Structure formats: C-alpha cells, structure tokens
Amino acid sequence: MLRTLAIETSCDETAVAVLDGDGRLEANELSSQVAAHAPFGGVVPELASREHLKALPVLLERALGAARGEIELVAVTAGPGLVGALLVGVRFACAYAWARGLPLVAVDHLHGHLVSPFLDLDGSAARRTPGRVLALVASGGHSSWYLLTDGVARRLGRTRDDAAGESFDKVAQALGLPYPGGPVVDRLARRGDAGAVSLPRPRIEGAPADFSFSGLKSAAIRFIRDTGLKGVGIDDPLPEVLDLLASFELAVVDQLLGPAAALVAEHRPQLITAAGGVAANTLLRRRVENLGESMGVEVLLPPLALTTDNAAMIGRAGQLAHSRGAVVDARRLDAHARRAWQPPGMRKVGAGDGVR
Ligand code: KG4
Ligand code: ZN
C-alpha cells in the first residue's frame, strides 16, 4: 500500500498522521480543543471549525517533518460529524492532493474507529484483520456492535438513544465536572463502590442486541438532583459522588456488553475488538478482556491514544479502501454530516450492507 497522509477534523480534535505502506505510524499529530470548548460544557461547532483552521497547518508541517518518504496518498474523514468542522479538513486535504496530483480517499469516521485496534504506537506494522471480527464502537456519537467479515461491516446492534460517551458526558456535566466527562468518570469511579446506587438497565423488547442509555442517564441525573450532589468539584469529591459514578459506569458497561455473549455464541468470531473514546475506559477494557477469556476468543483493544479521535485510524482505513479501488475527485469531494452517508467507492457502515 501507499505512504499516506491522513486528516481528521470531524469533531473537536484536529489530527494529522502519516503511515507507511504497511500501516506503521510515522507521525500521529493531535491538537485537542478541549480547553476552547470547556467553558461551554460541550463542543461549539463554529468554534471547532475555527480551531481546526488554526491547527491544521501547524500539525501538517510537523507530520511531514516526521515522514520517512514521499506522500503517495491522501485520506480524509468526510463524514459523519459536524459539517463545518469536516469541511475544513476536507478542503484542506483536497487542496493538498490536487496541488500535488495525489490520489485522495474519503473515509467514514466509523470505519476509522473499526480499524484502530489493528494499529500500534511502537513502530510495528498494522495487523491483518482475520475473517470474522466482532467489534464494538463506543464513542461520544456512536454505540454499536458490528460483525466484520473479510473487511465488510454489518451492524448487529445499536443504541436506541444516547451514545455511551454522551451519557458519561451528561452525567459528569450534571455534577459540575469538567468536559469531557468520560475520562473524569473513569478516574473517580475507581475510588467508588459500584454496588452503592441501584440504576436501571432497560433492554429493548424484540431487539436483544440493541441497548439504551437515556433511562439510565435520567435516573443518575435525578439522583444527583434529589441528593443535592451538584457542583461538587473534582479535587475533593464526596464519597457519594464516587459511589454514584462507579455505579453509573458499571451500568453503562453492563448495557454495552449485555448483548456480547449471545453475539459471540451466534457469530463465532475469531477476534473481539472495542474502539472509540469509551474503549479507553478501564472497566470496559477489563470486562471485554474477561469476555474473551471466558468464551475462548482473542481480544484486541487499541492503544489508549488511538481510542479517541485520531488521524492514524483514518489513514489506515483510507489505505485499505484505496487498495480496494476507492478514490475520489479532489475537486468534488464534499463533507457529510449524516450517519447514513456512504463514502464514494465504499459501502456504508451500518444497517445491512457494510463498509469496504
Ligand atoms: O471517539 P471519540 O474521541 O469521539 C467521537 O467520535 O465521539 O469519543 C469521545 C467520547 C467522549 O464522550 C468521552 O467522554 C468518552 O469518549 N471517553 C471516555 C473515556 N475517554 C473518553 N468514556 C469513558 N471512559 C474513558 N476513559
Ligand atoms: Zn470518533
């Protein structure tokens, strides 16, 4: 495959990476916008676009400085995400590819997360994907189980309402904890009693592989309101806050992994993976490892730094797509906010027909 320059600007991380033809990371540059959005308690789309514009040239220069050879292919996230944020990366990548006469591939952000477990930070080549992989993607915008069969993804189950990361962010916000909530909840939950607060774990009738977080999130927020726990701060949290966060984290992980054993039994995968920001969660990682052990299936988790949004995963997804013939016209590529968007030359991630 070709040495690839990859660009990711779908949400609040600006990221640029360079991968050699075997998927070794030569550069993995990232600029987080957390500080810019923190005062607002969430991502402000307009601000995200402006921050991407500022950061991209700086990251590009650094990434190209670390590249060990000429760039031969450009890959960019073209959807789904915040359309203004996506547009910045898309136009940037189009201009780069067009000016140098390089081939360009448009990548579905979810496809990036799906390939992230196969990458390493230690200079090794990307691993090959076995024939059948059961894959969880849990992030701030998505929570779904997929079956990857020879690189084609079919969605098996999904959240019916909030994403797992979103529910962590909202409960943290209700407590007055900083954004994004997931990493903070992870840290504080380690010190709490996960059996202290009982929270609902509703299942969807007739759809055993689907799950829901909104009832669980509302119960936690109601508990915060009723017990007056709001505004506790992060430095010296009350034991009740630690207990609530540990209980909430356990319930979210139970919801995500609820369908897992049945899916393993039904689809007999050779490998189980988990990706997306929530795959950085300590308890989730342990529970996925345990699931693999108890069912005799190998587990592969991305390095922590590649769980949240990054350009390395977009580069690898782009290389795989390009090797199957996907390429787009740099003068015509647009950004696509919608989840159902289908990258040119690829089939979509999701209901039924999968991605290549
Ligand atoms: O994959 P990602 O960077 O962006 C999306 O594509 O959405 O995921 C971000 C999400 C946020 O909701 C964040 O709170 C959550 O991942 N997250 C975590 C952890 N680290 C990030 N959730 C639980 N535990 C963590 N350690
Ligand atoms: Zn993501």
Residue-wise DSSP of 44-68: -HHHHHHHHHHHHHHHHHHHHHH-S
Question: Which 3 state secondary structure label does DSSP give 77?
Answer: strand
pLDDT at 236: 76
The single-letter code of the amino acid at 104 is: L
In this prediction the pTM is: 0.93
Tokens at 350, concatenated: 């999701």
- Any ligand 1 atom below 6 A from CB of 33: no
Q: Ligand 2 centroid vs 332 CA: distance in angstroms?
A: 24
Closest atom of ligand 1 to CA, residue 169: 14
- 340, exposed or middle or buried, with CB in 10 Å at 0-12, 13-18, 19+? exposed
pLDDT at 150: 81
**Which is nearest to 1 in space by CA: 97, 150, 128, 113?**
128
pLDDT at 230: 76
Closest atom of ligand 1 to CA, residue 309: 3
Question: Which 3 state secondary structure label does DSSP give 292?
Answer: helix
Task: Give me the phi and psi of 117, to 5 degrees please.
Answer: -65, -15
- Any ligand 1 atom below 6 A from CB of 280: yes
In the chain, beta strands by DSSP E: 4-8, 13-19, 25-32, 73-79, 104-108, 132-138, 143-149, 152-158, 271-275, 298-300
Q: How far apart are CA 326 and CA 339, in angstroms?
A: 19
pLDDT at 356: 31
Ligand nearest to the CA of 142: 1
**Which is nearest to 144 in space by CA: 132, 160, 130, 129?**
160
pLDDT at 342: 56
Task: Give me the phi and psi of 36, to 5 degrees please.
Answer: -70, -35
- Any ligand 1 atom below 6 A from CB of 182: yes
pLDDT at 237: 85
Q: How far apart are CA 303 and CA 225, in angstroms?
A: 37
Closest atom of ligand 1 to CA, residue 276: 1
Helix 239-257, helix 214-227: angle, nearest 10:
170
Q: Ligand 2 centroid vs 141 CA: distance in angstroms?
A: 7
| 200-214 tens-digit pLDDT | 999 999 999 999 999
Query: Across the strands, what pairs with 340?
Result: none
Task: Give me the phi and psi of 60, to 5 degrees please.
Answer: -60, -45
Contact 109, 39 (CB under 8 A): no
Q: Ligand 1 centroid vs 103 CA: distance in angstroms?
A: 32
Query: Across the strands, what pairs with 75?
Result: 6, 105
User: Which position has the token pair 């936690």?
Assistant: 220
- Any ligand 1 atom below 6 A from CB of 81: no
Query: Across the strands, what pairs with 299?
Result: 272
Spatial strand order in the sheet of 13-19: 25-32, 13-19, 4-8, 73-79, 104-108
| 269-283 tens-digit pLDDT | 999 999 999 999 999
Q: Ligand 1 centroid vs 17 CA: distance in angstroms?
A: 20
Query: Across the strands, what pairs with 193?
Result: none
- Any ligand 1 atom below 6 A from CB of 8: no
The per-residue pLDDT string of the chain (356 residues; one tens digit each, 9 = 90 and over) reads: 999 999 999 999 999 999 999 999 999 999 999 888 888 877 899 999 999 999 999 999 999 999 999 999 999 999 999 999 999 999 999 999 999 999 999 999 999 999 999 999 999 999 999 999 999 999 998 999 999 998 789 999 999 999 999 999 999 999 989 888 999 999 999 999 999 999 999 999 999 999 999 999 999 999 999 998 876 666 778 899 999 999 999 999 999 999 999 999 999 999 999 999 999 999 999 999 999 999 999 999 999 999 999 999 999 999 999 998 989 999 888 888 775 545 554 554 543 333 33
Task: Give me the phi and psi of 161, to 5 degrees please.
Answer: -140, -105
- Any ligand 1 atom below 6 A from CB of 141: yes
**Which is nearest to 299 in space by CA: 136, 125, 124, 77?**
136
Q: Ligand 1 centroid vs 72 CA: distance in angstroms?
A: 32
Distances, alpha carbon 134 to alpha carbons 115, 149, 268, 272, in Å: 12, 9, 9, 5
pLDDT at 318: 96
pLDDT at 178: 87
Closest atom of ligand 1 to CA, residue 307: 1
